[in-house]
Amino acid sequence: MSEDIDITQLETPELLELIQDDLYDGLAEEVVASVNELLAREMTPYDVLNKGLVAGMDIVGADFRDGILFVPEVLMAAKAMKAGMEILRPLLVETGAPQMGTLVIGTVKGDIHDIGKNLVSMMMEGAGFNVINLGINTDVDAFLEAIREHKPDILGMSAMLTTTMPYMAVVIEALEQEGLREQLLVLVGGAPLNDAFAEEIRADAYCRDAAVGVETAKKLLAIKRGELN
Amino acid sequence: MPSIHELLEKNGYVVTDGAMGTVLFAAGLEQGDPPELWNLKHPERVAQVHQAYIDAGSRIILTNTFGGNRLRLALHNAAEQVPAANKAAAQILRGIADQSGLDILVAGDIGPTGDVLAPYGELAFQDAKRAFKEQAAALIEGGVDLIWIETMSDLEEVRAAFEAAREVSQEIPIVTTMTFDTHGRTMMGVTPEKAFETLTGFGAAALGGNCGNGPEEIIEVVTKMHAINPDTILVAKANAGIPELVAGKAVYRASPETMANYAVQSYQAGARLIGACCGSTPEHIEAISQALDEYVR
């Protein structure tokens, strides 16, 4: 539909709304065109990101959580988001815009499932986070190395199997021993997990799906940074 | 070899088997290792599980090949073992079934690739189909009676598997079940109604639900599918509940009695091929067999 719209004729607030609609519909080219138009109007890259892309992905995330959207729509939205981000990322670095935070994420050792974890990665990127995705079958040394290198705010661990989920506890124990635990939020997810498990292994939270993951990450980070109580 | 219809004529239902993977882990399979390679390494242990399910009353048994496609085994650096592992799995089960002297159907199990198909993900349809075809060919060469495509969430991936199996054999019956674990739909948003329409369109010999968040979910799926056409043969293969944590280990806690009740409810809802999935054991299947026998008789 939006190909019929001359975006140069839209007021900026309407254009921001259009970006959100196009993200929702997974229209990458349209999102890119609107991002470029907003930049041409000298909106800061940071505002384009937050008022356009992140606000749009918030809606996608909420509808995914509520069972209105499913994985295919979210993946298409994330692709559109990514296309917009490719333009914004170098500009954000250039302008020294504040970062949402960094996430290191991986599927734990022994487990090769990565659809859910990749969905979380995309949604977190969509929320403006810098994401380092370690892939599948990630052992404790790989997690520790990545944490030392990237100094993330959040560690995300995923497991699809009842036989692999206990490995998350191994990683958390290693973080505690190495004195790295306090600097991080640890979020865990995967089909067989639940809140009680997260509590038992001393993770900060269990996240039922990718949308809840983003919400939880934002909320707990804000609390940790003293922005919320 | 009997057909599904012939097996159904006997009692009005057929008990399938229960879990393979979670039972093999209990038998010493290392965490993270692919169960499929045990078809080559420890065929006697795989055979024992099949035998236990037959003794418990299963008359349709699935080969130990759920993750036996190239895309999955490549993650364990075992892609080259796809033909051997699948053929061995079929032969192990064929041998046990023939020995039993019972009317048993040997079903070649095909699970998902684990990747998301384009345009949503990166996996090309043709690459998925090629992987499924390699697996189906080895299963059929090993002597399976039917192909059983399960735990699917994407109809395009089912189509890839279905077409692949059909290209290997024009006549082999193909059963397909999907996992409706996300707000009543599959992860990819497929409703039971849409699945019914598409899978019957493919020519599935039977269809339904497996895995997911326990018995209630599957009964709902069966109810919805049965309402569309009561003549279609429906499958219910639920997990033994939702895993709970006991001392840091995940345990499926649905008791054999719970699963027996689920089996009868599934039958009442219209399912005719009834078994179980993750976390179930031959004990659960035995309880299911007895309960159905008492209920239907």
Looking up residue A166, the CATH number of its domain turns out to be 3.40.50.280
CB-CB under 8 Å, B32 with A70: no
Long-range contacts of A3-8 (CB under 8 A, 24+ apart): A3/A30, A7/A33, A7/A34, A7/A37, A8/A37
Separation in Å, CA of B53 to nearest CA in chain A: 22
Q: Using an 8 Å Cβ cutoff, are B99 and B147 in contact?
A: no
Task: Provide the pLDDT confidence category of residue B21 given band limits of 50, 70 and 90.
Answer: confident
> CA A112 from chain center: how many Å?
20
pLDDT digits (tens, 9 = 90+) for A159-210: 988 778 889 999 999 999 999 999 999 999 998 888 988 999 999 999 998 9
CB contact under 8 A, A76 and B252: no
pTM attached to this predicted model: 0.91
Residue of B nearest to A168 (CA): B248
The stretch A206-223 carries a mean pLDDT of 93
Same domain? A52 vs A113: no
CB pairs A-B closer than 8 Å: 79
Same domain, A90 and A115: no
Query: What 8-state DSSP symbol labels residue B117?
Result: B
pLDDT in tens, A111-121: 888 888 998 99
The alpha-carbon gap from A117 to the nearest alpha carbon of chain B, in Å, equals: 12
Are A137 and B188 inside 8 Å of each other by CB?
no
A86 pLDDT more than 70: yes
* Strand intervals (E) in chain B: 14-15, 60-62, 105-110, 146-152, 174-178, 206-210, 234-238, 243-246, 249-252, 271-276
Tell me how many helices (H) and strands (E) chain B has.
12, 10
Domain identity same for A119 and A211? yes
B76 chain-A contacts, CB cut-off 8 A: 112
Per the prediction, chain B carries an average pLDDT of: 95
Q: Give the dihedral of Cα atoms A101, A102, A106, A108; nearest 10 deg.
A: -80
pLDDT (tens digit per residue) in A100-109: 899 999 999 9
CB B145 within 8 A of CB B1: yes
Checking if the pLDDT of B246 tops 80, the result is no
Mean pLDDT for the stretch of residues B3-10: 93
The reply to whether A157 and A114 lie within a common domain is yes
Measure in Å the smallest separation between the Cα of A188 and chain B Cα atoms. Answer: 15
Per the domain annotation, does A44 fall within a domain?
yes
User: pLDDT tens across B188-219, in order?
Assistant: 999 999 999 999 999 999 999 999 888 999 99
Instruction: Write out chain A residues lying below 8 Å of B243, CB-based.
Output: 162, 192
C-beta atoms of B114 and A112 within 8 A: yes
At B290, is the pLDDT very low, low, confident or very high (cuts 50, 70, 90)?
very high
CATH label of the domain that carries residue B87: 3.20.20.330
In a shared domain, residues A117 and A187: yes
What H or E segment, with its residue span, contains residue A186?
Answer: strand A185-189
Q: What is the mean pLDDT of residues B159-176?
A: 98
Mean pLDDT across the stretch B86-99? 98
Give the percent of chain A with pLDDT over 70.
98
Q: What percent of chain B has pLDDT over 70?
A: 98
Q: Is the pLDDT of residue A1 over 80?
A: no
Number of domains comprising chain A: 2
> Do residue A89 and residue A127 come from a single domain?
no
Residues 6+ apart with CB under 8 A from B164: B129, B130, B132, B133, B135, B136
Q: Do residues B146 and B105 touch, judged by C-beta distance below 8 A? A: yes
A117 and A55 within one domain? no
Q: What are the start-end ranges of the E strands in A81-153?
A: 102-107, 130-133
Contact A69, A60 (CB under 8 A): yes
Six-digit token string for B152: 């699917």
Picking from A94, A112, A128, the residue at the C-terminal end of a domain is A94
Chain A partners within 8 Å of B252 (Cβ): 162
Q: Note the ipTM here.
A: 0.87
Give A167's contacts in chain B (Cβ within 8 Å).
31
Nearest CB among B32, B183, B250 relative to A162 is that of: B250
H or E, element range at A74:
helix A71-94
Structural domain containing residue A205: 102-224
- Nearest beta carbon to residue A75 from set B25, B116, B278: B116
Question: In total, how many domains does chain B have?
Answer: 1
Q: What span, in angstroms and rounded, lies between the C-alpha atoms of A122 and B55?
A: 47
CB contact under 8 A, A200 and B248: yes
In contact, B92 and B62? CB cutoff 8 Å:
no
* Rounded-to-integer distance, Cα B159 and Cα A2, Å: 33
Report strand pairing: B249-252 vs B243-246.
Answer: antiparallel
| CB-CB neighbors (< 8 A) of B242 in chain A | 192
The per-residue pLDDT for A7 is: 93
- What is the SS3 assignment for B192-236? HHHHHHHHHHHCCCEEEEECCCCHHHHHHHHHHHHHHCCCCCEEE
Q: Is B183 exposed, middle or buried (0-12, 13-18, 19+ CB in 10 A)?
A: middle
Q: Give domain status of residue A78, yes or no.
A: yes
For residue B29, what pLDDT is reported?
87
Q: Does residue A229 fall inside a structural domain?
A: no
Taking alpha carbons only, the member of B131, B241, B281 closest to residue A194 is B241
| pLDDT one-digit tens code per residue, A16-41 | 999 999 999 999 999 999 999 999 99
Say if residue B248's pLDDT is above 80: no
CB-based contacts of A58: which residues, under 8 Å, 6+ apart? A127
